[in-house]
Amino acid sequence: MTLKKQPVQFLVLSAGAAIAALGHLAALLIPSLANVAYSPTYPPLRHAVFITINVACAYLLLLRPHWFVWVYLVLTAQVVNGHGTRLWRTWFTQHEINWIDVITVSGVVLGVIFLFVDLRKRGSEVS
């Protein structure tokens, strides 16, 4: 798959991963933003790790090597655990919707579904 011909869903997912990387970069560089968006115990190193992960995902969502779906599945589990737990807790304790968590959880879940469908489709084209 070349980078020129991409299904729109993977272009959107790749852009989302790039935006997430920028969000973590902004939180790393602007402490007042980090204080609003993250708990005070959120370590700066974790922002750096997620910048790296999100940049790699933005690129790999365009290439989609066959093995990437399994790596992305692990990331999906981590994101659902982190953002999903916070989404649930915010809804039940504050009766508010944290839209960043909704978008993040929805995006990664859709991403893993799209990757499995794409893997199956590309596998059937080879056979």
- Contacts for 23 with CB less than 8 Å, ≥ 6 apart: 37
Q: What is the pLDDT of residue 90?
A: 93
Q: What is the pLDDT of residue 111?
A: 98
Query: Cα(94)–Cα(31) distance, rounded to whole angstroms?
Result: 24
The pLDDT tens digits along the chain (127 residues) read 556 688 999 999 999 999 999 999 999 999 888 888 788 888 889 999 999 999 999 999 999 999 999 999 999 999 999 999 999 999 999 999 989 899 999 999 999 999 999 999 988 765 4
Query: Cα(107)–Cα(113) distance, rounded to whole angstroms?
Result: 10
